[in-house]
Amino acid sequence: MSEKLTKVQFTNLDKILFPKITITKAQVIEYYIKIAPKMLKFLANRPLVLTRFPDGVDKQGFYEKDAPEGTPSWVKTATLYSETAKRDVHYILCNDLDTLIWLANLAAIEIHIPLSTVDHRDKPDFAFFDVDPEPPARYEDAAEVALLLKEKLDQLGLEPYVKTSGKKGLHVLIPIVREYTFRETRAFVHTVGKQLSKEHAMVVSEFSETKRPGKVFIDYLQNSHGRTMVCPYSVRVAPTATVSTPLDWSEVKKRIKPAEFNILNVTSLWKDPWKDIFENKQKLEVK
Amino acid sequence: MAKKPKPAQPSRRAIWSGSITIGLVNVPVKLYAMIYDRGINFHFLHQTDNQPLKYERVCTKDGKIVPWQEVAKGYEVAKNEYVVFDKEELEAVKPESDKRIRIDKFVDYFSVDPTYFNTTYALMPDKSNDAYSLLLAALQKMGKAGVGRITLRTKEYPVLVHAYKGALVLTTLRYAYDVVDPQAFEELKELKAPEKAELDLAMKIVKDLSGEFDITEYEDTYKQKVEELIAKKLKGEKIVVEKPAEEEVKGLMVALRETLKQLEKK
């Protein structure tokens, strides 16, 4: 190639990473290249946690926080103390297209982000409701609870955003001004969850209740320092390569199934329901 | 980039003339070639002096060149065992070219799978404009095609007479014995019906990628590249052999260029 479009040296492009639907690493990389214009803003300046499956999603994979050996010098990292690992970790920061392509070439299928950026680690810029159905509750039940949650937040004068988790649940987020601590966002999300669980028998809001079959758990605990959520537009480690896809609330109303959004079709969605999310930072004071 | 090749041009010489016969009705027509294989053609040359090579028929026993007058036809019945025919014997059983395209029946055009299509010829009216346009209009209106037979040179073909871009055309068909039934493949015996969710997803992908068929979206890039090389060689340029990037890398570069453009706009 005479022109050099990327610093990344591709390797093992024909390796099949999703054997059930025969998706190669080249296709995973192509997906991340195509989705980059929508995705990069969610990655910027957030220390990443990766799940890598170099031999395919049906084989053993691993979590990775530390920049791996052989990380090129142009990849930005941030050295931070990890509470869970009890040591300094060289986290990868993905602030440009090349780094995203490099991650894809590492078969970092899932990319997880914290709810705060590296320069303000204790001040989240999202409040996060993880709406998780416990079987036999299904996606349809999670969608119903997410809509109840939206109604409640609307009443509070807030504008929540929603994405599929890429598995069975939905993620509801409020972009917030950087004024609150995790303790405060956690308390807020927990309070809203408790209120909903009082009003609707299907909803549970306490960790101790999560394994109750047929209920939908609104998880508030992810609003903590060092916790992460799967990044919008990240591919999931699932047989059909589903994608955690930002939705319009109308799509939740229509109960469009999360299984319909995967690596092969998400890049052809022309809508960007989360386009203005960072221009819509909200205060959690209840009006 | 090489310029797009011009579409194939009609030939002035009919390769056959006769009539389409439907019962008692006759439509006199001429048959013209319509399909050309215009890929790149190379000639074999002798490397030491660049002179063209020719083929000779050589006897496998003594290695001597055999003149045409001494050539007979043999049908191999067992290994190295032949039933031999002379010209007259085969001539006698040749199908007669009776100058007719006999239509046996009409079928829905789309009910004939392209698997059977061999090659297509243009049918032009032969002082038969009224009958020709009548048949054409009827087939167009009903979406039907005539199935029948034609003898071209020495071979009889099943044919389809149908409308294509405002003309009658004739497509020769393969005989059933030349086509494998794919169900004969062992692999298909292991197929299971997909689950509904998977099928829904697959159908959504198909729907998202659905469009109008346009054959001009496909280009013979090998032919274009060879023609570029020919132009360079004619100008006396030296050709540097580049190792082409892998197919996958090429696909990624296309996506990359598009994304870089989008990111620039932001």
- B249 touching A, CB under 8 A? yes
Write the burial class of residue A193 (CB in 10 Å: 0-12 exposed, 13-18 middle, 19+ buried): buried
**Contact (Cβ atoms closer than 8 angstroms) between residue B239 and residue B232:** yes
Low-confidence ranges of chain A (pLDDT < 70): 1-3, 286-287
Which residues in A have their CB inside 8 Å of a CB on B? 1, 5-6, 10, 13-14, 24, 26, 29-30, 33-34, 36-37, 40, 97, 101, 240, 257, 259-260, 262, 264-265, 268
Q: What are phi and psi of B50, to 5 degrees?
A: 55, 30
For residue B234, the model assigns a pLDDT of: 84
Residues of B in contact with A13 (CB under 8 A): 246, 248-249, 252
A257, B245: Cβ pair inside 8 Å? no
Measured CA to CA, the distance from residue B164 to residue B171 in angstroms comes to 11
B115-167 residue pLDDT tens:
999 999 999 999 999 999 999 999 999 999 999 999 887 788 999 999 999 99
pTM of the model: 0.57
Work out the average pLDDT over B51-78: 87
B160-197 residue pLDDT tens:
999 999 999 999 999 999 999 999 898 888 888 888 88
Residues of A in contact with B201 (CB under 8 A): 240, 259-260, 262
Find the angle CA(A205)-CA(A207)-CA(A210) to the nearest 5 degrees: 80
Residues of B in contact with A240 (CB under 8 A): 198, 201
CA B143 to chain centre: 23
Measured CA to CA, the distance from residue B256 to residue B195 in angstroms comes to 35
Distances (CA, A) of A276 to A41, A234, A271, A283, B167: 11, 19, 12, 16, 55
Measured CA to CA, the distance from residue B212 to residue B194 in angstroms comes to 27
**Contact (Cβ atoms closer than 8 angstroms) between residue A176 and residue A283:** yes
A176-187 residue pLDDT tens:
999 999 999 999
Of A29, A30, A260, the CB nearest to B204: A260
Measured CA to CA, the distance from residue B41 to residue B69 in angstroms comes to 30
Closest residue, chain A, to B252 (C-alpha): A30
Of B200, B209, B246, the CB nearest to A13: B246
**Whole-angstrom Cα Rg for chain B:** 26
A259, B201: Cβ pair inside 8 Å? yes
Residues of B in contact with A24 (CB under 8 A): 248
**Contact (Cβ atoms closer than 8 angstroms) between residue A241 and residue A110:** no
Under the banding of pLDDT at 50, 70 and 90, the label for residue B239 is low
B253, A1: Cβ pair inside 8 Å? yes
CA nearest to A105, candidates A94, A91, A114: A94
Distances (CA, A) of B182 to B175, B185, B194: 16, 6, 20
- B203 touching A, CB under 8 A? no
Q: How crowded is residue B17: how many other Cβ atoms within 10 Å of its Cβ?
A: 12
Cβ neighbors of B166 (< 8 A, separation 6 or more) are B136
Of B197, B252, B253, the CB nearest to A259: B197
DSSP calls for A128-189: EEEEEEPTTS-HHHHHHHHHHHHHHHHHTT---EEEE-SSS-EEEEEEB-TT--HHHHHHHH
B259, A260: Cβ pair inside 8 Å? no
**Contact (Cβ atoms closer than 8 angstroms) between residue B151 and residue B96:** yes
ipTM: 0.79
**Contact (Cβ atoms closer than 8 angstroms) between residue A144 and residue A130:** no
